[in-house]
Amino acid sequence: MNRLSSEARAAVINCLIECCSIRSTSRMTGVSKPSVIRLLVEAGAIALTYQDAEFRNLNCERIQIGEIDTAKAATLIQTRFHYFPPRAAIDLSF
């Protein structure tokens, strides 16, 4: 199986960080769409592992959530933090 070079992987990740679609990332970098998706899944797993290890026992009074849809944010706030703020306190505008 062929592996992407480090430069190609970095280019794909940079495009995805800049909010490019999978199709446009594929066109700009010359990497196939399945490879972009596979790299996205790998990067997500690495980010999950890092954040799970590093972001523990934080003393946060306020949490700002950006670029997450309203239903997910409401569920996250209610189930994860066991906190039911008034609607005006949650700013989920895009």
Cβ proximity of 65 and 73 under 8 Å? yes
pTM of the model: 0.61
Cα gap 90→33, rounded to integer Å: 36
- What are the residue ranges spanned by the domains of the chain? 1-58, 59-94
pLDDT by residue for the chain (94 residues), tens digit each? 578 899 999 999 999 999 899 999 999 999 999 999 999 999 999 999 998 899 888 888 887 766 655 566 666 655 555 555 555 555 555 4
